[in-house]
Amino acid sequence: MAIWSRLTSGIAGFGIGAATADAVTPELEPLKQTAWRNSPHRVLGEGTAAALRARQTVAGAEGIDLQGVNLADDAARQGIGHNRFDLLTELARREPDVGSLIQLRRRGIATGDKEGISTHEFRRLLRRSGYEVETIDAIVELLQDRLEPPVVALAIVRGILHDPGFLPVGPPTKPGKVKAFPVSGLDALDEAQANGMSRDRLFVQTAIAGRPMGPEAAAAAVFRDIIEPQDYQRAIAEGDVRNEWAQAIFETARQIPSVADYVNARIRGWITEAEMNAGTARHGMSPADTHLLYLRTGRPAAPGQMATAAARGIHGPDGTPMDRKQFLKGIAESDIRPEWGPMLWESRFLYPPLFQLTRLVQAGAIDADTAREWAVKDRYPPEVVTALHAYWTAPSAAKADTHLGKAQTQLWTTTHRSYLSGESDDATATAALQAAGVTAATAPAVLALWQHERDLVRKQLTPAQVKKAWAKVVRNEATGAAWTRDDAIAELIQRGYTHADATTYLDE
């Protein structure tokens, strides 16, 4: 270093010009570099030394050899005392930026050996960053974040924040069965203002936060006269559908008969095939698919109906008398699996009911064994078939004369009519009932019922009919009928006559 100084001084002393010095300097640079290498005594600037000290650079750290380095001595060699070097060191220290400090304070994250950054520590760090007290007070206010404008707008629509007067219809205020969510005490306009949004802009944000009725629901409301067409148009405009699609959505929402309705209308003959296809096309169904649905929906005749048609020789769908082929076709087109068709065809015939079987046996048209076989085919249980066969083979059953039963029935009917009209007394009626096959033990019960019936009939007679019944009995007293003069007078009194008037009426 000393050699270099002497050389430069000498050059200047010799009066060598600047141009000459510029030319000589590159040649002398190696000498300069060699001198600094041999005597590396230059010290670090005070600012650099303070920065290294602030970073707590120590020997061996980061692989750096600090032997012989004294940062305070470097500062002192430049005229910076110990205290001032401490100040430069503090100045060189870096603190978290404001945003990081706010997050540290909000989350309570520790700094150094502290449990969490306090408000005091927060303010101290801001002061170390060079902020004035007034500025720090303002920054402290930022610790409490504000609601974003979209959140404020949606809260207004939902009634969570008080409406500043934006909503055309506010939320309900009366309580219902479901408890309402409480309303916040925050001021919506203050929250918006904190985010730089004016009242007018918050109004627009609120308008787009609440959506109108859905397009399909709005169209249905028009059809039901709940709202008007212009209300529907406004619902489209205030929603997220462009206005040119409004009419298409409106027509799509219009109710039309279903595909099944069109197919069933065709089956019932209310519309033509072309009308059916046109109707199902409105649902996007092709004629081929419509025809398939038509075949599946329309069912054939029931098995019993087809069996009746076959027995009567009625034409089936092929235009010929119903036969096995057409029957099985009907089974295949129904909801019965085809493998059950032959069984149903073979079981199509009916057999006589029980009373007809008995009459056929008694008439000698069939024997008891045939009747038993037919009873089995009529699905009577085995024990019943056994009892019937025994009855049909009994001699009395074979020789029974049906005329006797018919005569007993006629006698019963005549006795009943005679007793009700008062032409027969209990003894006569009892004898007739026993002749008709009624046992002596049962006859009194029958007469008791008939007596109730006769009393009801008497109550329905007019005064003229009462007089006629009494007169008929008087003319035939030998029958011993129940209609006596006293009975007739009693009946007339029940109909509002006095005793004198009833007597006079009967004697007229």
The residue count of the chain comes to 508
- In terms of domains, do 88 and 135 share one? no
Residue 395's pLDDT band, with cuts at 50, 70 and 90, is low
Q: Is residue 222 part of a domain?
A: no
Mean pLDDT value across the chain: 81
Residue 231's pLDDT band, with cuts at 50, 70 and 90, is very high
Lowest mean pLDDT among 107-111, 125-129, 363-367: 107-111
The pLDDT value given to residue 446: 87
Which residues make Cβ contacts (< 8 Å) with residue 342, sequence separation at least 6? Answer: 328
- In terms of domains, do 426 and 502 share one? yes
Q: Is residue 452 part of a domain?
A: yes
Residues 133, 127: Cα–Cα separation, whole Å: 7
Which residues make Cβ contacts (< 8 Å) with residue 254, sequence separation at least 6? Answer: 219, 223
- In terms of domains, do 2 and 48 share one? no
- In terms of domains, do 86 and 106 share one? no
- In terms of domains, do 482 and 444 share one? yes
Q: Is the pLDDT of residue 220 over 70?
A: yes
- In terms of domains, do 419 and 374 share one? no
Say if residues 18 and 52 touch (Cβ distance below 8 Å).
no
Residues 105, 274: Cα–Cα separation, whole Å: 78
Share of the chain above pLDDT 90, in %: 25
- Residue 144's SS3 state is coil
Residues 476, 491: Cα–Cα separation, whole Å: 20
Residue 404's pLDDT band, with cuts at 50, 70 and 90, is confident
Q: Is residue 240 part of a domain?
A: no
Residue 457's pLDDT band, with cuts at 50, 70 and 90, is low
Q: Is residue 445 part of a domain?
A: yes
Domain total in the chain: 7
Domain of residue 463 covers 409-507
The pLDDT value given to residue 60: 47
Q: Is residue 465 part of a domain?
A: yes
Q: Give residue-wise pLDDT tens across range 251-300.
A: 888 889 999 999 999 988 899 999 999 999 999 999 999 999 998 888 88
pTM, entire model:
0.43
Cβ-in-10-Å burial (0-12, 13-18, 19+) of 129 comes to middle
Residues 206, 155: Cα–Cα separation, whole Å: 9
Nearest CA among 450, 411, 418, 452 for reference residue 434 = 411
Q: Is residue 217 part of a domain?
A: no
Q: Is residue 243 part of a domain?
A: no
Distances (CA, A) of 328 to 295, 303, 316, 336: 16, 9, 12, 10
- In terms of domains, do 48 and 35 share one? no
Mean pLDDT of the region 416-422: 77
Distances (CA, A) of 436 to 219, 288, 412, 421, 439: 81, 73, 6, 19, 9
Residue 89's pLDDT band, with cuts at 50, 70 and 90, is confident
Nearest CA among 212, 196, 201, 193 for reference residue 166 = 201
Q: Is residue 286 part of a domain?
A: no
- In terms of domains, do 381 and 424 share one? no
- In terms of domains, do 330 and 358 share one? no
Mean pLDDT of the region 19-35: 74
The region, left, alpha or beta by phi > 0 then psi within -120 to 50, assigned to residue 24 is alpha
